[in-house]
Amino acid sequence: MKTFSELGFPGRLIAVEGLDGSGKSTQIYLLKRWLELEGLKVFFSEWNSSALVKSATSKGKKRELLTPTTFSLIHATDFADRYERQLVPLLRAGYLVLCDRYIFTAFARDVVRGCPPKWVRGIYNFAALPDMTFFFKSKLEVSLQRILDGRPQLKYFEAGMDLRLSTDMYESFRIFQGRILEQYLAMSTEFNFTVIDANERVEVQQQIVRQLLQNKIDLAKYMHSPL
């Protein structure tokens, strides 16, 4: 697998990964605002957001119809739709594409759900690797607390209830997130994650993220050109 830059795309893809409650969405939002306000060509894409596939996914989730296999496949479908129709054309057009979660989310979650790693990775092998992946590494207890403080109404699949880890939703969520964290950590070196300490203050993290991004990518190249 190669990155977009290795494949000769003019654009660059930057992904953030981490547990729910790690603060990654806040960080990528701030990154997006900064790049936009600097006048760069930026596009933001979120996991599980393709309009057409979403209707099937939410139906499946609501009715608890999904098994590990169909859960994996329907998310892959969603990803493929965004990949083929948005990410690739924009990267061809020289955009900085920011992704809140990328294929590593599937690698971690689906494997925790019992899908064979080789199968999951095989399905996603049409996708190029990000040029930079920030992994927001937080203490498990801190992320759990953030989620549990914020919106105590957990959803069935989000809590990993389909895995029958515990009949208690909060306990299930803890165990599930713990296993996902293990998967992320195991992938960190293989996929060259840039690890950010998510226990730091928001501003401290943002400063580090901006700095690292600037070191790696010549941002000035991505300015909007006058039309």
Partner 1 sequence: MKRAASKPHKIRSQIVVPTMSPKKWYGHGIPGVDLQKLTGKLFVVEGADGSGRSTQIVRLVQWLEQGGHATVQVGLKRSSLVSEELEQAQQGNILSRITLSLFYATDFADQVENVILPALKSGFIVLADRYIYTLMARDMVRGMDEGWLKNLYGVALVPDAVFYLQTTPEVLVQRNISKTLTLDYWESGMDLGLSRDLFDSFLKYQTLMSEQFQRLQKTYGFRIVDGNQSVEGVHEELRSEIEEVMRGRV
Chain positions contacting partner 1, by CB under 8 A: 52-53, 55-56, 59-60, 65-70, 73-74, 76-77, 80-81, 83-85, 114-116, 118-119, 122-123, 125-126
226: left (phi over 0), alpha (psi -120 to 50) or beta: beta
C-alpha count within 13 angstroms, C-beta hemisphere, residue 155:
9
Tokens of 202: 């928001």
Closer to partner 1 by Cβ: residue 119 or 204: 119
Q: Which is nearer to partner 1, 74 or 103 (CB)?
A: 74
Contact 31, 98 (CB under 8 A): yes
Of the two residues 102 and 136, which places its CB atom closer to partner 1 in the complex? 102
The distance of closest approach from Cβ of residue 69 to partner 1 in the complex, given in angstroms and rounded to an integer, is 5
Nearer to partner 1, 79 or 222 (CB): 79
- Kindly state the smallest distance separating residue 76's Cβ from partner 1, in Å: 5
Least spacing, CB of residue 115 vs partner 1, in Å = 7
* CA gap 206, 26 in Å, rounded: 9
The nearer residue to partner 1, 80 or 212, going by C-beta atoms, is 80
Joined together, the tokens standing for residue 62 give 């609501």
Q: Is 73 exposed, middle or buried (0-12, 13-18, 19+ CB in 10 A)?
A: middle
Shortest CB 65 distance to partner 1, Å: 6
Rounded to a whole number of angstroms, the minimum distance from the CB of residue 138 to partner 1 is: 29
Nearest to partner 1 of 97, 213 (CB atom): 97
* Token pair belonging to 226: 């006058």
Distance between CA atoms of 133 and 188, rounded to whole angstroms? 10
Nearer to partner 1, 126 or 204 (CB): 126
Containing 166, the helix (H) or strand (E) segment is none
- Give the tokens for residue 12: 């660059």
CA angle, 109 as apex, 127 and 88 as ends, to 5°? 20
Nearest approach, Cβ of residue 49 and partner 1 (Å)? 14
Q: Distance from first CA to last CA of the chain, Å, rounded?
A: 35
Residue 75 Cβ vs partner 1, minimum distance, rounded to whole Å: 9
